[in-house]
């Protein structure tokens, strides 16, 4: 999986991503109200959340620690930092400012290495509070054309980390890889559940285009991208739109645009604010946060292995490449430990990887089926007593029940043990029965093999392992 460089009409794209991620704390960033998704609206609130006069923020230490985990996992420098007020009016932000970080973010200057070998610089990863959530009734769900609006303040004050990449991304594929890899890291370090569909991870893309060698073009920011797949589509659409404008002699206006999944286009939301428009100033109600070396070292030492390392370990154990689809998928689901456990109790890691990828999509990161049961199944396969297809059938029953003895299930299906000498004699019989096919096969006509395999399958009533038969035919021809 390598990201191809994007080019259109001679232009290249320049993309930087801003990812907001909700931290998995028990309480909010500056108050004791629960940080919980899906509760009855306006129940997780308090004077700080609502921005009532005189209410003062108290910083959540665990939020700082989770933000440090993110920074350290991205190779950032963790530094002493300050909070700032970012002023703007929005109905779901009761104070009319957001407490964020500005000139002194907690984490600065990191890098995210992608599975395809490319890397993307991280400018900063700072702490800030989330806003409330507006719902617009009637119409499309957007404010335009709606009949009324409701505001839920449960989300206001939820701790966020905003991760800002450098404009190093050059294709929609690379943007997708970045978002999935970042998501995997956030989940691995326990900082967030990072669910794009629930909004606990939100990706905005700054997109511009230029002729190679030219200075950076004017960028547009795309919001409302709800999946990794839409991210790629939105960036591709937006870059083509900008190329068409330039080619028509127009110029690109700096603005915030909304991605519409339905029509597959971006639409103007508002002309873009610059940092000046937010009138940032230091938050007078919070002091400097200065994590000492001992705290930073303790957080670094407690970081679990990151997805890139786990992919390499799984790849080595299973004879795959670290960016093979099965390796990527299983690590992303957090099931790599399970595959390794199967190998540890005497199973085949290679077969376990295939089964876990195909049959454990819904199993979560600690599948109910004991590792020993899957290990026993993979041994039956490697010993040639079950074909891949038969193993799949047996496994489906084991997964369904969450347990089971593969020997007994195989027997109940009549998947009889067929040892290799039995198979050898069936192969010999097939050759004897169809000498013409055998002659053609020996003369290099690969197609003739099908007839011979067919004989064996028929004789074994479908019990023979097609791969083993093929290997035997090849061996006989070559001997
Ligand atoms: Mn932000």
How close is the Cα of 128 to the center of ligand 1, in Å?
A: 7
Q: Structurally, how many domains does the chain consist of?
A: 3
What is the pLDDT, as a whole number, of residue 388?
A: 85
Q: Cα–Cα distances in Å, from 472 out to 171, 352, 425, 428, 449?
A: 47, 25, 11, 10, 11
- CA–centroid distance, residue 212 to ligand 1 (Å): 30
For residues 382 and 454, membership in a common domain is answered with no
Ligand 1 centroid vs 96 CA: distance in angstroms?
Answer: 14
Asked if the structure places residue 1 within a domain, the reply is no
| CA 62 – ligand 1 centroid, Å | 19
CA of 125 to the centre of ligand 1 (A): 10
Return the number of other C-beta atoms located less than 10 Å from residue 16's C-beta: 21
Cα(131) to ligand 1 centroid in Å equals 10
Residue 2 lies in a domain: no
CA of 130 to the centre of ligand 1 (A): 8
Query: Does residue 210 lie within any of the structural domains?
Result: yes
**169, 256: one domain:** yes
110 Cα–ligand 1 center, Å: 18
Question: Does residue 242 lie in a domain region?
Answer: yes
User: Measured in angstroms, how far is the CA atom of residue 275 from the centroid of ligand 1?
Assistant: 12
At 272 the pLDDT is: 63
CA of 294 to the centre of ligand 1 (A): 29
Distance 114 CA to ligand 1 centre (A): 24
How far apart CA 59 and CA 180 sit, in angstroms, is 30
Q: Is the pTM of this model over 0.75?
A: yes
Domain-terminating residue out of 241, 267, 300? 300
160 CA distance to ligand 1 centroid (A)? 8
Ligand 1 centroid, distance to 334 Cα (angstroms): 29
Same domain, 470 and 350: no
Separation CA 429–CA 452 (nearest Å) = 9
pLDDT digits (tens, 9 = 90+) for 227-259: 999 999 999 999 999 999 999 999 999 999 999
* CA distance linking residue 343 with residue 338, whole number of Å: 9
**Are 129 and 199 within one domain?**
yes
User: Distance from the CA of 335 to the center of ligand 1, in angstroms?
Assistant: 32
One domain, residues 29 and 140: yes
Q: What three-state secondary structure class fits 94?
A: coil
Residue 91: which domain range? 7-300
Helix residue ranges, H only, 76-227: 172-188
What is the distance in A from the centroid of ligand 1 to the CA of 161?
8
Say yes or no: 115 and 202 in one domain.
Answer: yes
CA of 25 to the centre of ligand 1 (A): 18
Examine the domain organization and report whether 264 and 338 are in the same domain: no
**From the CA of 251, how far away is ligand 1's center (Å)?**
27
Centre of ligand 1 from the C-alpha of residue 464, in Å = 60
Measure the CA–CA gap between 34 and 396, rounded to whole angstroms: 40
Q: Provide the residues around ligand 1 (an ion) whose CB is within 5 A.
A: 162
Ligand 1 center to 269 CA (angstroms): 17
- As a whole number of angstroms, the distance between CA 404 and CA 374 comes to 9
Last residue of a domain, one of 300, 323, 338: 300
Ligand 1 centroid from CA 256, angstroms? 14
What string of H, E and C letters represents the secondary structure of 134-158? EEEECCCCCCCCCCEEEEEHHHCCC
Q: How many helices (H) and strands (E) does the chain have?
A: 16, 15
Q: Answer whether residue 261 is part of any domain.
A: yes
| Cβ atoms 126, 99 nearer than 8 A | no
Distance 441 CA to ligand 1 centre (A): 66
Q: How far is the CA of 9 from the centre of ligand 1 (A)?
A: 34
Q: Which helix (H) or strand (E) holds 257?
A: strand 255-260
Q: From CA 373, how far away is CA 214, in angstroms rounded? A: 60
Assigned domain for 206 exists: yes
Q: How far is the CA of 66 from the centre of ligand 1 (A)?
A: 17
Encoded tokens for 314: 């799984």
Q: How many whole angstroms from 438 Cα to the centroid of ligand 1?
A: 70
Distance from Cα 200 to the centre of ligand 1, integer Å: 13
Query: Of 389, 412, 435, which closes a domain?
Result: 412
C-alpha neighbours within 13 Å on the C-beta side of residue 119: 10
What spacing in Å lies between the alpha carbon of 206 and ligand 1's midpoint? 13
DSSP state of 361: T
The per-residue pLDDT for 273 is 66
Same domain, 294 and 318: no
Instruction: Give distance in angstroms: CA of 100 to centre of ligand 1.
Output: 7
**Do 49 and 186 share a domain, yes or no?**
yes
In a domain, 121, yes or no: yes
Quote the pLDDT of residue 340. 96
Give dist(CA 349, CA 198) in Å, integer.
Answer: 34
Q: Which domain CATH number covers 464?
A: 1.10.10
Give yes or no: residues 350 and 266 share one domain: no
Distances (CA, A) of 299 to 26, 285, 307, 357: 19, 27, 18, 32
Phi, psi of 412 (to 5 degrees): -65, -25
Q: State in Å: Cα 42 to ligand 1 middle.
A: 22
Whether 459 maps to a domain, the answer reads yes
Going from the Cα of 194 to the center of ligand 1, the distance in angstroms, rounded, reads 16
In terms of domains, do 329 and 195 share one?
no
Of 354, 322, 336, nearest to 467 by C-alpha is 354
| Same domain as 149, residue 21 | yes
Ligand 1 centroid to residue 226 C-alpha, Å: 17
Which of the residues in the chain have pLDDT under 70?
1-3, 272-273, 275, 416-418
Q: Residue 18 Cα, ligand 1 centroid: separation in angstroms?
A: 8
Separation of CA 20 and ligand 1 centre (Å): 7
């Amino acid at each position: 999986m390598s990201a191809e460089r994007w080019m259109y009409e001679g232009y290249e794209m320049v993309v930087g991503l801003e990812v907001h991620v909700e931290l998995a704390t028990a309480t909010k960033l500056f108050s004791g109200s629960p940080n919980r998704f899906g509760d009855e609206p306006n129940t997780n609130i308090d004077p700080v959340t609502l921005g009532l006069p005189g209410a003062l923020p108290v910083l959540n230490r665990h939020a700082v620690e989770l933000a440090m985990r993110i920074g350290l996992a991205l190779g950032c420098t963790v530094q002493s930092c300050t909070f700032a007020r970012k002023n703007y009016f929005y109905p779901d932000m009761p104070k009319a400012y957001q407490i964020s970080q500005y000139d002194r973010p907690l984490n600065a200057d990191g890098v995210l290495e992608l599975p395809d070998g490319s890397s993307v610089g991280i400018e900063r990863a700072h702490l800030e509070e989330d806003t409330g959530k507006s719902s617009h009734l009637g119409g499309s769900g957007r404010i335009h054309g709606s009949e009324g609006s409701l505001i839920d303040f449960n989300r206001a004050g939820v701790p966020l980390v905003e991760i800002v990449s450098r404009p190093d991304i050059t294709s929609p594929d690379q943007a997708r890889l970045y978002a999935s890899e970042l998501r995997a890291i956030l989940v691995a370090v326990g900082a967030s559940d990072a669910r794009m569909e629930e909004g606990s991870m939100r990706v905005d893309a700054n997109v511009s285009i230029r002729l190679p060698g030219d200075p950076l073009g004017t960028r547009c920011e795309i919001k409302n991208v709800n999946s990794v797949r839409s991210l790629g589509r939105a960036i591709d659409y937006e870059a083509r739109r900008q190329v068409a404008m330039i080619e028509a002699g127009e110029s690109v206006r700096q603005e915030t645009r909304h991605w519409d999944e339905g029509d597959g286009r971006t639409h103007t939301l508002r002309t873009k604010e610059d940092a000046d428009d937010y009138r940032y100033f230091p938050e007078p109600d919070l002091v400097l946060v200065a994590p000492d070396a001992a705290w930073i070292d303790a957080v670094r030492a407690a970081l679990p292995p990151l997805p890139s390392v786990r992919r390499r370990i799984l790849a080595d154990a299973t004879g795959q490449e670290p960016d093979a689809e099965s390796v990527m998928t299983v690590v992303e689901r957090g099931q790599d430990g399970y595959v390794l456990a199967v190998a540890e109790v005497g199973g085949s890691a290679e077969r376990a990887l295939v089964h876990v990828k195909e049959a454990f999509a819904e199993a979560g990161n600690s599948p109910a089926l004991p590792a020993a049961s899957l290990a026993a199944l993979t041994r039956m396969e490697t010993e040639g007593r079950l074909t891949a297809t038969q193993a799949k059938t047996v496994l489906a029953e084991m997964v369904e029940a969450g347990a089971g003895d593969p020997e007994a299930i195989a027997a109940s299906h009549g998947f009889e043990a067929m040892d290799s000498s039995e198979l050898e004699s069936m192969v010999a019989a097939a050759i004897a029965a169809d000498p013409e096919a055998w002659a053609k096969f020996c003369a290099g006509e690969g197609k003739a093999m099908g007839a011979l395999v067919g004989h064996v399958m028929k004789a074994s009533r479908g019990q023979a392992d097609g791969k083993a038969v093929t290997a035997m035919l090849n061996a006989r021809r070559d001997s």
